[in-house]
Amino acid sequence: MSKCSKCNKVVSKKSPGIQCSKCSKWIHAACASITNDQLAALYSTEAVDWKCRACAATVKPKRTSIILPDADEDTDTEATATATKMQHSINEKFLVDMRREIRDLIRDEIQRSLKFYSDKIDDYEEQIEKYEVKIKSLTSHQTDLNNKYKNIQMKYDLLEQKMNSIEQLHFNNRLEICGIQLNEKEDPMAVTKQICEKLKLNAEDIMAAQTKISRAPAAKKRNPPTVLVTLREGRRDGWMESSRAATLTNAELAREGGRIFLREALTPATSFLLWKAKTELRESNMYKFVWCKNGVVLIRKSENDKIQSVRSVSDIEKFKNDGKPKPAC
């Protein structure tokens, strides 16, 4: 088999070439820069004289032998190219159709999903509207109940105050002797008469005298017991004034202890209210003066401030929170 003198590869129909008419060496058409059409033209021309570059100076013509490419192979190549183009076209069409189908499927799925969630949202909004109506109804009902409770609580406080006021009326002729050191078996009437003598009062004013029993636990009984004295009607204020004018101590009665003083007799409710007011208002330095007069607990921030009354425990909370105080009666 002939080989190309330039690339040393076989010259064949797949790699056509031409033979030099001078040196008879073969060379590929591609290696000689000759196209297939030029190669066919050289073959069909009689007395062709083609020389390689090395023998180009030789002028003696010689029949040149040429190996042409296989015509069927060119036809097959064209058919293959055509088939390839058709296959590409089919593939492209298939891809386009597939993209379209996928796009349609995705669009349909998205629309179904949006429709589903849209319906769900509508259901939720409907339920929310129902709940909002119920909440408004419950809120309104709760407001009514709160108002009713406040009214009931207010009526209860007023009723309790009235009952305490009525009960306090029975204490208008009573007073308490505080700070006196009593023995367990000592007669409170005798002690009351001793105090009456020291204050230069009339002993006939005394109707009854008894030791007041405290209901507080033993751990809280820090002060000595008090003596509850019942006087004739209209005599209590005179005793109170005499008590304020004179300073009476246990030493004057040959007893141990500090000062003895007289105060109004209070109902348990008023006594508790006075204690609570002293504990939460005076001891917290919010109000300097806390006392009781005619069964009413009174408070005052300073000597120049207005006197205000405390009727209930809720009043104490209002004073603590800077609420509007009630004017003194």
CA distance 303 to 204: 38
Helices and strands (H, E) in the chain, number of each type: 6, 12
Both structure tokens of 285: 């330095």
What is the pLDDT, as a whole number, of residue 140?
94
CATH number of the domain within which 59 lies: 3.30.40.10
Instruction: Identify whether residues 258 and 186 lie together within a single domain.
Output: yes
pLDDT at residue 288 above 80? yes
Structural domain including 50 reads 1-69
Q: Quickly state the pLDDT bin for 151 (edges 50, 70, 90).
A: very high
* Mean pLDDT taken over the chain: 83
The residues with which 231 forms a beta bridge, in sequence order, are 206
Residues 99 and 151 reside in one and the same domain? yes
pLDDT digits (tens, 9 = 90+) for 188-247: 999 899 899 888 899 999 999 998 766 545 434 556 778 999 999 989 888 988 888 888
Query: What span, in angstroms and rounded, lies between the C-alpha atoms of 328 and 298?
Result: 8
Are both 178 and 245 inside the same structural domain?
Answer: yes
In terms of domains, do 82 and 49 share one? Answer: no
H-helix or E-strand spanning residue 209: strand 206-212
Check if the beta carbon of residue 261 is closer than 8 Å to that of residue 254. no
How many domains are contained in the chain? 4
Q: Determine the residue type at 43.
A: Y
Residue whose entry in the numeric block shows the structure tokens 């002797």 = 177
Contacts of 14 by beta carbon, 8 Å cutoff, 6+ apart: 69, 70, 73
CATH number (domain holding residue 238): 3.30.70.1820
- 147 and 180 housed in the same domain: no
Task: State how far the Cα of 310 lies from the Cα of 137, in Å rounded to an integer.
Answer: 38
The answer on 188 and 100 residing in a single domain is no
Residue 229, SS3?
A: strand
The domain boundary residue, chosen from 69, 85, 120: 69
Residues 193 and 233 in one domain: yes
* Shared domain check, 288 and 249: no
- The residue out of 49, 69, 89 marking a domain boundary is 69
Tell me the per-residue pLDDT of 101-131, one tens digit each, with 9 for 90 and over. Answer: 888 889 999 999 999 999 999 999 999 999 9
Same domain, 312 and 239: no
pLDDT at 178 exceeding the cut of 70: yes
Residues 42 and 102 in one domain: no
Neighbours of 83 (CB within 10 A): 11
Query: Residue 181: CB partners within 8 Å, gap ≥ 6?
Result: 224, 250, 255, 256, 257
The confidence band for 298, taking pLDDT boundaries of 50, 70 and 90, is very high
Asked whether 243 and 199 are in contact (CB, 8 A), the reply is yes
160 and 195 assigned to the same domain: no
Please return the burial class of 50, using the count of CB atoms within 10 Å of its CB with bins 0-12, 13-18 and 19+.
buried
Among residues 256, 272, 114, which one has the least CA distance to residue 179? Answer: 256
Structure tokens at 60: 């003696």
Q: How far apart are CA 199 and CA 202, in angstroms?
A: 9
Name the domain boundary from 38, 69, 100.
Answer: 69
Do 164 and 122 lie in a common domain?
A: yes
